[in-house]
Amino acid sequence: MKSSFKYIVILVILSLSGIFIYQLFWLTGLYHSRQAQNREDIRMAIKNADHIELFDRADFLSKALHKQRETSAIADTEGGVAISTSFPDKDSIISERSILPLDTNIYNPSYNRKTLSKEAGEMLKSTAVKVGDDFSSLGELGLQMQRALHETIDTIKPISLARFDSILSSHLQKSELDIHHYTEIWNLEDSSIISSSVPANLDRTKYELYKWDYTTYHKRAYFVYTEPTKWETVRMMSGILFSSFLILLILTLSFAYMLWFLIHQKTVEQLKDDFTHNVTHELKTPIAITYAAVEAMIHYNITGNKEKTNKYLHVCHEELQRLGNMVEQILSLSLERKKEFKLKFERIDLNELTGKIVEQQTIKSSKAFHVCRKFTPDTICLEADRTHLYNILSNILDNAIKYSGDDPQISITAEETDGAISICITDNGIGIAEEHLSHIFDKFYRIPNENRTPVKGYGIGLFYVKTMIQKHSGTIRVESHPGEGSSFIITLPQTHER
Protein backbone atom coordinates (compact mmCIF):
# COMPACT_ATOMS: atom_id res chain seq x y z
CA MET A 1 0.00 0.00 0.00
CA LYS A 2 2.78 2.42 0.93
CA SER A 3 4.72 1.62 -2.24
CA SER A 4 1.72 2.01 -4.56
CA PHE A 5 0.71 5.26 -2.86
CA LYS A 6 4.23 6.61 -3.38
CA TYR A 7 4.10 5.73 -7.08
CA ILE A 8 0.70 7.41 -7.44
CA VAL A 9 2.02 10.62 -5.88
CA ILE A 10 5.11 10.58 -8.13
CA LEU A 11 2.95 9.95 -11.22
CA VAL A 12 0.60 12.81 -10.33
CA ILE A 13 3.50 15.22 -9.76
CA LEU A 14 5.19 14.21 -13.03
CA SER A 15 1.91 14.57 -14.96
CA LEU A 16 1.24 18.02 -13.54
CA SER A 17 4.84 19.10 -14.19
CA GLY A 18 4.59 17.87 -17.78
CA ILE A 19 1.42 19.86 -18.36
CA PHE A 20 3.00 22.98 -16.86
CA ILE A 21 6.15 22.64 -19.01
CA TYR A 22 4.16 21.99 -22.20
CA GLN A 23 1.89 24.96 -21.52
CA LEU A 24 4.90 27.17 -20.82
CA PHE A 25 6.63 26.19 -24.08
CA TRP A 26 3.41 26.67 -26.04
CA LEU A 27 2.76 30.12 -24.56
CA THR A 28 6.39 31.14 -25.08
CA GLY A 29 6.26 30.06 -28.72
CA LEU A 30 2.96 31.85 -29.22
CA TYR A 31 4.42 35.01 -27.65
CA HIS A 32 7.46 35.02 -29.95
CA SER A 33 5.27 34.28 -32.97
CA ARG A 34 2.97 37.16 -32.08
CA GLN A 35 5.96 39.45 -31.51
CA ALA A 36 7.29 38.61 -34.98
CA GLN A 37 3.85 39.24 -36.46
CA ASN A 38 3.67 42.63 -34.73
CA ARG A 39 7.07 43.61 -36.14
CA GLU A 40 5.95 42.56 -39.62
CA ASP A 41 2.72 44.55 -39.18
CA ILE A 42 4.77 47.63 -38.27
CA ARG A 43 6.98 47.20 -41.36
CA MET A 44 3.92 46.82 -43.59
CA ALA A 45 2.31 49.86 -41.94
CA ILE A 46 5.43 51.94 -42.70
CA LYS A 47 5.47 50.70 -46.30
CA ASN A 48 1.76 51.43 -46.74
CA ALA A 49 2.07 54.86 -45.11
CA ASP A 50 4.90 55.75 -47.51
CA HIS A 51 2.85 54.46 -50.44
CA ILE A 52 -0.26 56.44 -49.48
CA GLU A 53 1.66 59.63 -48.72
CA LEU A 54 3.45 59.38 -52.08
CA PHE A 55 0.25 58.96 -54.06
CA ASP A 56 -1.43 61.76 -52.12
CA ARG A 57 1.28 64.11 -53.41
CA ALA A 58 1.03 62.64 -56.92
CA ASP A 59 -2.71 63.22 -56.91
CA PHE A 60 -2.20 66.78 -55.72
CA LEU A 61 0.33 67.49 -58.51
CA SER A 62 -1.94 65.91 -61.11
CA LYS A 63 -4.84 68.16 -60.15
CA ALA A 64 -2.64 71.26 -59.94
CA LEU A 65 -1.09 70.70 -63.39
CA HIS A 66 -4.44 69.96 -64.96
CA LYS A 67 -5.86 73.18 -63.58
CA GLN A 68 -2.91 75.37 -64.70
CA ARG A 69 -2.39 73.99 -68.24
CA GLU A 70 -3.42 76.36 -71.12
CA THR A 71 -3.62 75.16 -74.76
CA SER A 72 -4.39 77.26 -77.91
CA ALA A 73 -4.47 76.57 -81.67
CA ILE A 74 -3.95 79.32 -84.37
CA ALA A 75 -4.25 78.82 -88.15
CA ASP A 76 -1.83 80.78 -90.43
CA THR A 77 -1.89 81.81 -94.10
CA GLU A 78 0.37 78.92 -95.09
CA GLY A 79 -2.27 76.35 -94.24
CA GLY A 80 -0.67 75.28 -90.99
CA VAL A 81 -1.90 75.22 -87.41
CA ALA A 82 0.05 76.56 -84.45
CA ILE A 83 -0.67 74.61 -81.21
CA SER A 84 0.53 76.20 -77.96
CA THR A 85 0.43 74.71 -74.43
CA SER A 86 1.52 76.79 -71.43
CA PHE A 87 2.34 75.80 -67.77
CA PRO A 88 2.77 78.76 -65.43
CA ASP A 89 5.91 78.25 -63.35
CA LYS A 90 6.06 80.84 -60.62
CA ASP A 91 6.59 84.12 -62.51
CA SER A 92 7.38 82.66 -65.93
CA ILE A 93 5.43 80.74 -68.55
CA ILE A 94 6.89 77.62 -70.09
CA SER A 95 5.47 77.23 -73.60
CA GLU A 96 5.82 74.77 -76.40
CA ARG A 97 4.75 75.44 -79.99
CA SER A 98 4.36 73.16 -82.99
CA ILE A 99 3.41 74.14 -86.58
CA LEU A 100 1.70 71.38 -88.51
CA PRO A 101 -0.14 71.17 -91.81
CA LEU A 102 -3.89 71.18 -91.57
CA ASP A 103 -4.15 67.63 -92.75
CA THR A 104 -1.66 66.30 -90.23
CA ASN A 105 -2.96 63.84 -87.61
CA ILE A 106 -1.87 64.94 -84.16
CA TYR A 107 -0.95 61.76 -82.30
CA ASN A 108 2.45 62.27 -80.77
CA PRO A 109 2.91 65.75 -79.34
CA SER A 110 6.17 66.56 -77.60
CA TYR A 111 6.36 67.24 -73.85
CA ASN A 112 8.71 69.13 -71.65
CA ARG A 113 9.64 68.27 -68.01
CA LYS A 114 6.39 69.66 -66.63
CA THR A 115 4.41 67.61 -69.10
CA LEU A 116 6.23 64.46 -67.97
CA SER A 117 5.51 65.32 -64.36
CA LYS A 118 1.83 65.63 -65.11
CA GLU A 119 1.71 62.32 -66.91
CA ALA A 120 3.65 60.66 -64.12
CA GLY A 121 1.08 61.97 -61.68
CA GLU A 122 -1.74 60.59 -63.78
CA MET A 123 0.00 57.20 -63.94
CA LEU A 124 0.52 57.09 -60.18
CA LYS A 125 -3.06 58.13 -59.57
CA SER A 126 -4.34 55.31 -61.76
CA THR A 127 -2.34 52.72 -59.83
CA ALA A 128 -3.08 53.99 -56.29
CA VAL A 129 -4.46 51.53 -53.75
CA LYS A 130 -6.69 51.95 -50.73
CA VAL A 131 -5.27 52.06 -47.19
CA GLY A 132 -4.71 48.52 -46.01
CA ASP A 133 -4.70 46.93 -49.49
CA ASP A 134 -1.98 44.37 -50.07
CA PHE A 135 0.29 45.51 -52.89
CA SER A 136 3.10 43.09 -52.13
CA SER A 137 2.08 41.13 -55.25
CA LEU A 138 3.72 43.86 -57.32
CA GLY A 139 6.96 42.34 -56.14
CA GLU A 140 10.35 43.86 -56.57
CA LEU A 141 9.32 45.64 -59.78
CA GLY A 142 6.55 47.51 -58.01
CA LEU A 143 8.89 48.48 -55.18
CA GLN A 144 11.49 49.82 -57.63
CA MET A 145 8.78 51.80 -59.45
CA GLN A 146 7.65 53.31 -56.14
CA ARG A 147 11.22 54.35 -55.32
CA ALA A 148 11.72 55.78 -58.81
CA LEU A 149 8.54 57.87 -58.46
CA HIS A 150 9.91 59.17 -55.16
CA GLU A 151 12.99 60.41 -57.05
CA THR A 152 10.74 62.41 -59.41
CA ILE A 153 7.99 63.69 -57.11
CA ASP A 154 10.17 64.55 -54.10
CA THR A 155 12.03 67.15 -56.22
CA ILE A 156 8.74 68.89 -57.01
CA LYS A 157 6.86 68.49 -53.72
CA PRO A 158 8.71 67.38 -50.54
CA ILE A 159 7.44 64.63 -48.24
CA SER A 160 4.82 65.70 -45.69
CA LEU A 161 6.11 64.11 -42.47
CA ALA A 162 2.95 65.03 -40.57
CA ARG A 163 0.83 63.30 -43.21
CA PHE A 164 3.11 60.23 -43.12
CA ASP A 165 2.84 60.01 -39.30
CA SER A 166 -0.94 60.37 -39.47
CA ILE A 167 -1.28 57.56 -42.02
CA LEU A 168 1.14 55.37 -40.06
CA SER A 169 -0.86 55.88 -36.84
CA SER A 170 -4.03 54.85 -38.65
CA HIS A 171 -2.42 51.66 -39.97
CA LEU A 172 -0.97 50.76 -36.57
CA GLN A 173 -4.38 51.14 -34.94
CA LYS A 174 -5.93 48.90 -37.59
CA SER A 175 -3.33 46.29 -36.61
CA GLU A 176 -4.41 46.74 -32.94
CA LEU A 177 -1.05 48.27 -32.04
CA ASP A 178 -1.72 51.17 -29.70
CA ILE A 179 1.86 52.45 -29.53
CA HIS A 180 3.55 55.83 -29.92
CA HIS A 181 5.97 56.39 -32.77
CA TYR A 182 8.30 59.10 -34.02
CA THR A 183 9.80 59.53 -37.50
CA GLU A 184 12.95 60.93 -39.05
CA ILE A 185 13.79 61.35 -42.75
CA TRP A 186 17.48 60.74 -43.34
CA ASN A 187 19.84 61.56 -46.19
CA LEU A 188 22.09 58.52 -46.02
CA GLU A 189 24.66 60.05 -48.38
CA ASP A 190 25.85 62.59 -45.84
CA SER A 191 24.13 61.14 -42.71
CA SER A 192 21.99 64.22 -42.23
CA ILE A 193 18.42 64.51 -41.01
CA ILE A 194 16.09 66.11 -43.55
CA SER A 195 12.99 66.20 -41.35
CA SER A 196 12.08 64.87 -37.89
CA SER A 197 9.16 64.49 -35.48
CA VAL A 198 11.37 63.03 -32.74
CA PRO A 199 11.40 65.07 -29.49
CA ALA A 200 14.83 66.34 -28.49
CA ASN A 201 14.74 64.58 -25.10
CA LEU A 202 13.61 61.18 -26.42
CA ASP A 203 15.62 58.24 -25.05
CA ARG A 204 16.03 56.28 -28.26
CA THR A 205 17.49 53.26 -26.45
CA LYS A 206 14.02 52.49 -25.09
CA TYR A 207 12.47 52.43 -28.56
CA GLU A 208 12.59 49.96 -31.42
CA LEU A 209 13.99 51.27 -34.72
CA TYR A 210 12.55 50.44 -38.15
CA LYS A 211 14.34 51.62 -41.30
CA TRP A 212 12.59 52.01 -44.66
CA ASP A 213 14.65 52.99 -47.76
CA TYR A 214 12.22 54.82 -50.02
CA THR A 215 14.70 55.91 -52.74
CA THR A 216 17.60 54.24 -54.49
CA TYR A 217 19.61 56.96 -56.24
CA HIS A 218 19.53 59.71 -53.62
CA LYS A 219 19.80 57.30 -50.66
CA ARG A 220 16.90 58.56 -48.56
CA ALA A 221 15.19 56.57 -45.78
CA TYR A 222 12.58 56.74 -43.04
CA PHE A 223 13.79 56.01 -39.50
CA VAL A 224 10.71 55.13 -37.43
CA TYR A 225 11.04 54.78 -33.63
CA THR A 226 8.23 52.80 -31.97
CA GLU A 227 7.51 51.80 -28.39
CA PRO A 228 8.35 48.15 -27.59
CA THR A 229 5.48 45.85 -28.48
CA LYS A 230 5.99 43.26 -25.72
CA TRP A 231 3.15 44.62 -23.55
CA GLU A 232 0.92 44.98 -26.61
CA THR A 233 1.66 41.34 -27.38
CA VAL A 234 0.75 40.35 -23.82
CA ARG A 235 -2.46 42.39 -24.10
CA MET A 236 -3.37 40.65 -27.35
CA MET A 237 -2.73 37.29 -25.66
CA SER A 238 -4.67 38.21 -22.50
CA GLY A 239 -7.60 35.95 -23.37
CA ILE A 240 -5.35 32.97 -24.06
CA LEU A 241 -3.22 33.69 -20.99
CA PHE A 242 -6.30 33.93 -18.75
CA SER A 243 -7.85 30.73 -20.08
CA SER A 244 -4.51 28.90 -19.80
CA PHE A 245 -4.03 30.15 -16.24
CA LEU A 246 -7.59 29.12 -15.37
CA ILE A 247 -7.09 25.63 -16.81
CA LEU A 248 -3.78 25.22 -14.98
CA LEU A 249 -5.35 26.48 -11.76
CA ILE A 250 -8.24 24.01 -12.07
CA LEU A 251 -5.82 21.17 -12.83
CA THR A 252 -3.57 22.13 -9.92
CA LEU A 253 -6.48 22.34 -7.50
CA SER A 254 -7.86 19.05 -8.81
CA PHE A 255 -4.52 17.31 -8.39
CA ALA A 256 -4.04 18.90 -4.96
CA TYR A 257 -7.51 17.75 -3.88
CA MET A 258 -6.83 14.26 -5.23
CA LEU A 259 -3.54 14.07 -3.34
CA TRP A 260 -5.20 15.38 -0.19
CA PHE A 261 -7.99 12.83 -0.60
CA LEU A 262 -5.51 9.99 -1.11
CA ILE A 263 -3.47 11.06 1.91
CA HIS A 264 -6.65 11.50 3.94
CA GLN A 265 -7.90 8.08 2.89
CA LYS A 266 -4.53 6.57 3.78
CA THR A 267 -4.69 8.25 7.18
CA VAL A 268 -8.27 7.09 7.73
CA GLU A 269 -7.31 3.54 6.79
CA GLN A 270 -4.45 3.65 9.26
CA LEU A 271 -6.71 5.09 11.96
CA LYS A 272 -9.32 2.43 11.28
CA ASP A 273 -6.71 -0.28 11.61
CA ASP A 274 -5.55 1.23 14.89
CA PHE A 275 -9.17 1.54 16.03
CA THR A 276 -9.88 -2.10 15.21
CA HIS A 277 -6.76 -3.18 17.08
CA ASN A 278 -7.48 -1.00 20.11
CA VAL A 279 -11.19 -1.67 20.37
CA THR A 280 -10.57 -5.42 20.07
CA HIS A 281 -8.31 -5.28 23.10
CA GLU A 282 -10.73 -3.00 24.93
CA LEU A 283 -13.63 -5.36 24.28
CA LYS A 284 -11.62 -8.46 25.13
CA THR A 285 -10.69 -7.13 28.58
CA PRO A 286 -14.21 -6.94 30.12
CA ILE A 287 -15.21 -10.13 28.33
CA ALA A 288 -12.17 -11.99 29.69
CA ILE A 289 -12.69 -10.66 33.23
CA THR A 290 -16.39 -11.54 33.18
CA TYR A 291 -15.63 -14.96 31.74
CA ALA A 292 -13.01 -15.62 34.44
CA ALA A 293 -15.39 -14.55 37.24
CA VAL A 294 -18.21 -16.73 35.96
CA GLU A 295 -15.84 -19.66 35.43
CA ALA A 296 -14.56 -19.32 39.01
CA MET A 297 -18.10 -19.35 40.34
CA ILE A 298 -18.88 -22.49 38.35
CA HIS A 299 -15.74 -24.55 38.76
CA TYR A 300 -14.80 -23.61 42.32
CA ASN A 301 -18.31 -23.96 43.71
CA ILE A 302 -18.29 -20.67 45.57
CA THR A 303 -22.00 -20.11 45.34
CA GLY A 304 -22.25 -21.05 48.99
CA ASN A 305 -19.90 -18.21 49.92
CA LYS A 306 -22.16 -15.18 49.70
CA GLU A 307 -19.33 -12.66 50.13
CA LYS A 308 -17.24 -14.09 47.29
CA THR A 309 -20.31 -14.57 45.12
CA ASN A 310 -21.29 -10.92 45.54
CA LYS A 311 -17.71 -9.86 44.82
CA TYR A 312 -17.56 -11.81 41.56
CA LEU A 313 -21.04 -10.68 40.56
CA HIS A 314 -20.04 -7.09 41.25
CA VAL A 315 -16.96 -7.54 39.02
CA CYS A 316 -19.13 -9.02 36.27
CA HIS A 317 -21.58 -6.15 36.59
CA GLU A 318 -18.86 -3.50 36.32
CA GLU A 319 -17.20 -5.11 33.31
CA LEU A 320 -20.48 -5.64 31.52
CA GLN A 321 -21.41 -2.03 32.24
CA ARG A 322 -18.05 -0.94 30.83
CA LEU A 323 -18.61 -3.12 27.78
CA GLY A 324 -22.09 -1.69 27.33
CA ASN A 325 -20.79 1.88 27.47
CA MET A 326 -18.19 1.17 24.79
CA VAL A 327 -20.74 -0.48 22.52
CA GLU A 328 -23.17 2.38 23.10
CA GLN A 329 -20.56 4.97 22.14
CA ILE A 330 -19.66 3.09 18.96
CA LEU A 331 -23.32 2.72 18.01
CA SER A 332 -23.98 6.38 18.78
CA LEU A 333 -21.31 7.43 16.28
CA SER A 334 -23.04 5.53 13.49
CA LEU A 335 -26.56 6.50 14.55
CA GLU A 336 -25.84 10.24 14.80
CA ARG A 337 -25.50 10.44 11.00
CA LYS A 338 -28.98 9.07 10.49
CA LYS A 339 -31.99 11.33 10.33
CA GLU A 340 -33.87 9.34 12.95
CA PHE A 341 -31.21 9.96 15.57
CA LYS A 342 -32.76 12.10 18.31
CA LEU A 343 -31.67 13.15 21.76
CA LYS A 344 -34.00 12.53 24.69
CA PHE A 345 -33.95 15.79 26.59
CA GLU A 346 -34.86 15.81 30.26
CA ARG A 347 -34.15 18.02 33.24
CA ILE A 348 -30.89 16.94 34.89
CA ASP A 349 -29.34 17.93 38.20
CA LEU A 350 -25.69 18.45 37.32
CA ASN A 351 -24.56 18.01 40.95
CA GLU A 352 -26.19 14.62 41.17
CA LEU A 353 -24.93 13.49 37.75
CA THR A 354 -21.29 14.42 38.39
CA GLY A 355 -21.48 12.74 41.80
CA LYS A 356 -22.49 9.44 40.20
CA ILE A 357 -19.72 9.77 37.59
CA VAL A 358 -17.07 10.36 40.26
CA GLU A 359 -18.39 7.38 42.25
CA GLN A 360 -18.34 5.13 39.19
CA GLN A 361 -14.77 6.22 38.33
CA THR A 362 -13.68 5.59 41.94
CA ILE A 363 -14.83 1.97 41.68
CA LYS A 364 -13.47 1.54 38.16
CA SER A 365 -10.05 3.23 38.51
CA SER A 366 -7.00 1.24 39.52
CA LYS A 367 -5.41 4.27 41.22
CA ALA A 368 -6.60 6.76 43.77
CA PHE A 369 -7.52 10.27 42.68
CA HIS A 370 -8.99 13.39 44.20
CA VAL A 371 -11.85 15.40 42.70
CA CYS A 372 -12.86 18.90 43.79
CA ARG A 373 -16.28 20.09 42.67
CA LYS A 374 -17.39 23.73 42.71
CA PHE A 375 -20.74 24.87 41.31
CA THR A 376 -22.08 28.43 41.02
CA PRO A 377 -24.87 28.46 42.16
CA ASP A 378 -24.73 25.40 44.36
CA THR A 379 -27.49 23.66 42.42
CA ILE A 380 -27.38 23.74 38.62
CA CYS A 381 -29.96 22.11 36.40
CA LEU A 382 -30.08 21.89 32.62
CA GLU A 383 -31.94 20.10 29.85
CA ALA A 384 -29.90 17.38 28.14
CA ASP A 385 -29.87 13.74 27.13
CA ARG A 386 -28.94 12.00 30.39
CA THR A 387 -27.17 9.02 28.86
CA HIS A 388 -25.01 11.03 26.47
CA LEU A 389 -24.21 13.79 28.97
CA TYR A 390 -23.16 11.09 31.44
CA ASN A 391 -20.87 9.52 28.81
CA ILE A 392 -19.44 12.94 27.84
CA LEU A 393 -18.39 13.85 31.36
CA SER A 394 -17.32 10.28 32.14
CA ASN A 395 -15.03 10.18 29.10
CA ILE A 396 -13.30 13.44 30.01
CA LEU A 397 -12.92 12.44 33.67
CA ASP A 398 -11.62 9.00 32.67
CA ASN A 399 -8.97 10.63 30.42
CA ALA A 400 -8.02 13.04 33.21
CA ILE A 401 -7.35 10.10 35.53
CA LYS A 402 -5.55 7.94 32.95
CA TYR A 403 -3.24 10.71 31.70
CA SER A 404 -2.31 12.03 35.15
CA GLY A 405 0.49 10.75 37.37
CA ASP A 406 0.23 8.65 40.50
CA ASP A 407 -1.70 11.37 42.34
CA PRO A 408 -4.36 12.78 40.00
CA GLN A 409 -5.82 16.09 41.19
CA ILE A 410 -8.98 16.95 39.26
CA SER A 411 -11.38 19.86 39.59
CA ILE A 412 -14.89 20.11 38.15
CA THR A 413 -16.37 23.61 38.08
CA ALA A 414 -19.68 24.74 36.64
CA GLU A 415 -21.54 28.05 36.48
CA GLU A 416 -24.60 29.56 34.89
CA THR A 417 -23.95 32.35 32.37
CA ASP A 418 -26.71 34.07 30.35
CA GLY A 419 -28.88 30.99 29.80
CA ALA A 420 -25.90 28.68 29.32
CA ILE A 421 -23.97 26.28 31.53
CA SER A 422 -20.17 26.32 31.46
CA ILE A 423 -18.45 23.16 32.73
CA CYS A 424 -14.67 23.01 33.16
CA ILE A 425 -12.76 19.82 33.97
CA THR A 426 -9.10 20.44 34.85
CA ASP A 427 -6.36 17.93 35.68
CA ASN A 428 -2.69 17.99 36.63
CA GLY A 429 -1.70 15.42 34.01
CA ILE A 430 0.97 15.24 31.32
CA GLY A 431 -0.72 17.83 29.10
CA ILE A 432 -1.04 17.90 25.31
CA ALA A 433 1.51 19.24 22.83
CA GLU A 434 0.35 22.11 20.64
CA GLU A 435 0.64 20.13 17.39
CA HIS A 436 -1.92 17.59 18.70
CA LEU A 437 -4.50 20.04 20.07
CA SER A 438 -6.24 20.52 16.71
CA HIS A 439 -6.54 16.75 16.15
CA ILE A 440 -7.59 15.28 19.49
CA PHE A 441 -11.28 15.49 18.54
CA ASP A 442 -10.72 13.72 15.18
CA LYS A 443 -12.21 10.31 14.69
CA PHE A 444 -9.84 7.44 15.61
CA TYR A 445 -7.05 9.89 16.46
CA ARG A 446 -4.73 8.98 19.31
CA ILE A 447 -1.73 10.90 20.53
CA PRO A 448 1.42 8.84 19.87
CA ASN A 449 3.07 7.20 22.87
CA GLU A 450 6.20 9.35 23.02
CA ASN A 451 8.39 8.39 25.98
CA ARG A 452 5.41 7.54 28.15
CA THR A 453 3.58 4.46 29.33
CA PRO A 454 0.95 3.32 26.78
CA VAL A 455 -2.62 4.11 27.82
CA LYS A 456 -5.56 1.96 26.81
CA GLY A 457 -8.06 3.51 24.43
CA TYR A 458 -9.57 3.16 20.98
CA GLY A 459 -9.55 6.72 19.58
CA ILE A 460 -13.23 7.62 19.51
CA GLY A 461 -13.79 8.91 23.04
CA LEU A 462 -13.14 12.61 22.41
CA PHE A 463 -14.66 12.40 18.93
CA TYR A 464 -17.81 11.08 20.56
CA VAL A 465 -17.63 13.86 23.17
CA LYS A 466 -17.43 16.62 20.57
CA THR A 467 -20.11 15.06 18.36
CA MET A 468 -22.63 14.74 21.20
CA ILE A 469 -21.90 18.24 22.51
CA GLN A 470 -22.60 19.62 19.03
CA LYS A 471 -25.85 17.65 19.00
CA HIS A 472 -26.69 19.50 22.21
CA SER A 473 -25.95 22.82 20.38
CA GLY A 474 -22.92 23.31 22.60
CA THR A 475 -19.18 23.85 22.19
CA ILE A 476 -16.00 22.37 23.62
CA ARG A 477 -12.46 23.67 23.68
CA VAL A 478 -9.24 22.60 25.34
CA GLU A 479 -6.38 24.48 26.96
CA SER A 480 -3.23 22.51 27.58
CA HIS A 481 0.55 22.65 27.76
CA PRO A 482 2.94 19.71 28.11
CA GLY A 483 3.63 18.98 31.77
CA GLU A 484 1.04 21.48 33.01
CA GLY A 485 -2.19 19.50 32.71
CA SER A 486 -5.28 20.14 30.60
CA SER A 487 -8.60 21.97 30.90
CA PHE A 488 -11.68 20.96 28.90
CA ILE A 489 -14.29 23.74 28.81
CA ILE A 490 -17.81 22.72 27.77
CA THR A 491 -20.61 25.21 27.11
CA LEU A 492 -24.19 23.92 26.86
CA PRO A 493 -27.52 25.75 26.57
CA GLN A 494 -29.53 25.49 29.78
CA THR A 495 -32.80 24.81 27.97
CA HIS A 496 -33.87 23.39 24.60
CA GLU A 497 -36.98 23.83 22.48
CA ARG A 498 -38.92 20.59 22.30
Task: Average the pLDDT over 188-195 and give the result.
Answer: 89
What CATH number did the domain enclosing 440 receive? 3.30.565.10
Beta-bridged to residue 230, according to DSSP, are none
Range of the domain at 381: 342-493
Peptide bond connecting 377 to the previous residue in cis, omega within 30 degrees of 0: yes
pLDDT at 41: 92
Lowest-pLDDT range of 27-41, 219-233, 276-290, 447-461: 447-461
Last residue of a domain, one of 268, 300, 316: 316
Sign of CA dihedral 426, 432, 433, 437: negative
Burial 344-360 (b: 16+ CB within 10 A, else e): ebeebebeebbeebbeb
* pTM beyond 0.75: no
480 in a domain, yes or no? yes
In this model, does residue 42 exceed pLDDT 70?
A: yes
194 in a domain, yes or no? yes
pLDDT category, 168, cuts 50, 70, 90?
Answer: very high
The 10s digit of each residue's pLDDT in 256-283 is: 888 888 777 777 777 677 767 667 767 7
397 in a domain, yes or no? yes
For residues 378 and 272, membership in a common domain is answered with no
331 in a domain, yes or no? no
Task: Average the pLDDT over 44-61 and give the result.
Answer: 89
The total of other beta-carbon atoms located within 10 Å of residue 114's CB is 19
81 in a domain, yes or no? no
335 in a domain, yes or no? no
The 10s digit of each residue's pLDDT in 416-440 is: 988 899 999 999 998 998 888 888 8
Q: Which residues contact 456 (CB under 8 A, 6 or more apart)?
A: 278, 281, 282, 285, 402
pLDDT at 382: 94
In this model, does residue 211 exceed pLDDT 80?
A: yes
Lowest-pLDDT range of 105-109, 339-343, 443-447: 105-109
For residues 375 and 427, membership in a common domain is answered with yes
The 10s digit of each residue's pLDDT in 107-121 is: 333 434 444 444 444
For residues 54 and 187, membership in a common domain is answered with yes
How far, in Å, are 74, 82, 278, 312 from residue 71 at the CA level?
10, 10, 122, 146
pLDDT category, 93, cuts 50, 70, 90?
Answer: very low
Length of the chain, in residues: 498
What CATH number did the domain enclosing 275 receive? 1.10.287
pLDDT category, 155, cuts 50, 70, 90?
Answer: confident
For residues 397 and 302, membership in a common domain is answered with no
89 in a domain, yes or no? no
For residues 179 and 116, membership in a common domain is answered with yes
For residues 174 and 225, membership in a common domain is answered with yes
In this model, does residue 358 exceed pLDDT 80?
A: yes
65 in a domain, yes or no? yes
pLDDT at 117: 47
Angle among Cα 283, 284, 290 to the nearest 5 degrees reads: 100
For residues 180 and 284, membership in a common domain is answered with no
The fraction of the chain above a pLDDT of 70, given in percent, is: 77
Q: How many domains does the chain have?
A: 3
The 10s digit of each residue's pLDDT in 283-336 is: 777 788 788 888 877 777 666 677 878 888 888 887 787 788 777 767 666 655
In this model, does residue 442 exceed pLDDT 60?
A: yes
For residues 458 and 480, membership in a common domain is answered with yes
pLDDT at 248: 87
For residues 54 and 194, membership in a common domain is answered with yes
Task: Average the pLDDT over 457-465 and give the result.
Answer: 78
pLDDT at 119: 44
